């Protein structure tokens, strides 16, 4: 008589916030898969639901609380993890029925909570260990987290309180993971952390032996060079403009690393940067940007800025707009300042009224949209390499080397139904708007 195997419990996941949270979700689900759990795409089929929260801004916290509430209403058996787990009392006061609350990157605790809430029936007849890590992104690109935490103490940020000080991964472990991802079909590695430029500082930039011989130093330049030898696109995110970032630009010119830097400038006016407790040498930054473009003319620079920071005057904001005219950044995002519980900026005087924040936000976005439109128009007539993200009928959409997934623009293609996601193809650019390019694959 055939033995009927017990069905494994199913876990649902709601992942909020930044790519770093997404990587945490992938690691949690990979461990649960290895422990014998199945995954549920909806609330109804799940034995327990994980909500991986974001706690960076008050609006993000409210979104997390709404997601927890929805999961409880739809399923009832909910475990909360992630950045907002540091405020367990807030979560439990609003939702006393949650089964457990754990903090950011507390993988063992959250997996243990799942085991307690929905144990896996023991069975010696099946092996449920996955062949490779579970991914929540498309097969052709992967986020590669190289460190946790941050040593900065910016007045508007509570990330160190949520995730701790800088804790870098060993470079040999990072390279092993990257090699596995590339072997499994990854064509683009997106390097992320809280402060990518500081990578290896806590490891004293020591050398670590590699399995096949040789060694690699725990330093961003050395790691980027090694990653660039794996045959995939390598894109760097959250790069603070430390002096050694200059060493990355020749790697971009050589084609080892994508000519793309995601630098969180936050503002340009020296007085605002001082109140933010950020470096405030804006003139030197402009000089360095000019030097980078001299070495690597195609480098794409993206950044984010905060408008309406306490004490920001109209003169400060005009300074930022003039700085953007000089810097000519390719991609820009902006946030209206929000007080975050526990942030030092909350105690600063001279808050900016909400209508003024809105007006400045609109002016900044109009300025950066005009810059983006002009820079994209200059690409019309060129042929650019594009990685395909999706195909729909006879058309397709992808990204150039200047575009990160989800946050930057896209390249929309006609006569491209024969392509497949993950393909990297030359595309002749025919048109452009404020954010996207339009073209056709070259034969």
Strand order in the sheet with 48-53: 38-39, 10-15, 48-53, 78-82, 100-101
Every domain of the chain and the residues it spans: 10-117, 141-377, 383-441
Q: Which tens digit of pLDDT belongs to each residue from 170-202?
A: 999 999 999 999 998 999 999 999 999 999 999
Summarize pLDDT for 27-69 with one digit per residue, the tens: 888 888 877 888 998 999 999 999 999 887 788 889 999 999 9
**CATH among 3.10.310.30, 3.40.50.2000, 3.40.50.12160, 3.90.1150.10 for 10-117:** 3.40.50.12160
Q: What is the CATH architecture assignment of 141-377? A: Alpha-Beta Horseshoe (3.80)
pLDDT at 356: 97
Would you state the pLDDT for residue 3? Answer: 47
Q: Is the pLDDT of residue 102 over 70?
A: yes
Contacts (Cβ under 8 Å, ≥6 apart) of 275? 155, 309, 310, 311, 345, 348
- The percentage of the chain sitting over the pLDDT mark of 90, rounded to a whole number, equals 72
Choice between 136 and 282, residue whose per-residue pLDDT is larger = 136
> pTM for this structure?
0.78
Alpha helices for 86-241 (secondary structure H): 88-94, 107-117, 159-163, 171-183, 220-228
Residue 296 known to bind ligand = no
Average of per-residue pLDDT across 370-387: 98
Alpha-carbon distance values, 149 to 122, 139, 343 (Å): 37, 27, 16
Q: Considering only CA atoms, which of 222, 225, 129, 143 is closest in space to residue 181?
A: 143
pLDDT tens-digit map of 307-326: 999 999 999 999 999 999 99
pLDDT beyond 90 at 339? no
Of 110-124, 184-198, 330-344, 353-367, the least confident: 110-124
**What pLDDT is stored for residue 123 in this prediction?**
53
| Bridge partners, 259 (sequence order) | none
* pLDDT value for 133: 58
Report the CATH architecture of 383-441. Beta Barrel (2.40)
pLDDT at 347 over 80: yes
- Alpha carbon 220 to chain centroid distance? 17
Closest CA to 148 of 256, 41, 20: 20
pLDDT of residue 126: 41
- Which pLDDT value is given to residue 5? 52
Q: Does 83 show up as a binding residue in the annotation? A: yes
């Amino acid at each position: 008589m055939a033995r009927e195997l017990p069905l494994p419990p199913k876990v649902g996941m709601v992942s909020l916030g930044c790519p770093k949270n997404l990587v945490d979700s992938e690691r949690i689900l990979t461990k649960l898969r290895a422990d014998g759990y199945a995954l549920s795409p909806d609330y109804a089929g799940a034995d327990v639901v994980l909500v991986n929260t974001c706690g960076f801004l008050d609006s993000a916290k409210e979104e997390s609380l709404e997601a927890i509430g929805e999961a409880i209403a739809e399923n009832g058996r909910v475990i909360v993890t992630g950045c907002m787990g540091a405020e367990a009392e807030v979560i439990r006061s609003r939702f006393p029925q949650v089964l457990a609350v754990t903090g950011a990157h507390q993988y063992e605790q959250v997996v243990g909570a799942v085991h307690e809430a929905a144990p896996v029936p023991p069975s010696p007849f099946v092996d449920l260990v996955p062949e490779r890590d579970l991914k929540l992104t498309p097969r052709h690109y992967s986020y590669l987290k190289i460190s946790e935490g941050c040593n900065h103490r910016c007045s508007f940020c509570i990330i160190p309180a949520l995730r701790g000080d800088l804790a870098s991964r060993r470079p040999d472990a990072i390279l092993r993971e990257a090699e596995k991802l590339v072997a499994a079909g990854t064509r683009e590695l997106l390097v992320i952390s809280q402060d990518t430029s500081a990578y290896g500082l806590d490891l004293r930039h020591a050398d670590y032996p590699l399995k096949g011989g040789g060694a690699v130093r725990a330093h961003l330049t050395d790691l980027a060079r090694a990653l660039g030898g794996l045959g995939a696109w390598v894109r760097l995110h959250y790069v603070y403009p430390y002096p050694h970032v200059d060493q990355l630009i020749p790697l971009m010119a050589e084609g080892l690393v994508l000519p793309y830097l995601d630098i969180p400038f936050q503002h340009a006016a020296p007085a605002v940067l001082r109140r933010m407790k950020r470096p405030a040498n804006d003139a030197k930054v402009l000089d360095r940007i000019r030097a980078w473009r001299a070495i690597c003319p195609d480098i794409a620079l993206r950044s984010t800025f905060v408008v309406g920071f306490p004490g920001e005057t109209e003169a400060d904001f005009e300074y930022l707009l003039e700085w953007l005219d000089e810097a000519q950044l390719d991609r820009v995002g902006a946030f209206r300042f929000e007080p975050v519980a526990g942030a030092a900026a909350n105690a600063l005087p001279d808050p900016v009224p909400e209508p003024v924040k809105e007006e400045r936000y609109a002016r900044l976005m109009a300025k950066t949209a005009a810059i983006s439109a002009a820079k994209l128009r200059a690409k019309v007539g060129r042929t650019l390499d594009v990685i395909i993200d999706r195909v729909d009928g006879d058309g397709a959409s992808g990204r150039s080397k200047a575009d990160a997934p989800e946050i930057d623009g896209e390249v929309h293609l006609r006569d491209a139904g024969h392509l497949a996601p993950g393909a990297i193809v030359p595309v002749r650019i025919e048109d452009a708007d404020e954010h996207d390019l339009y073209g056709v694959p070259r034969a």
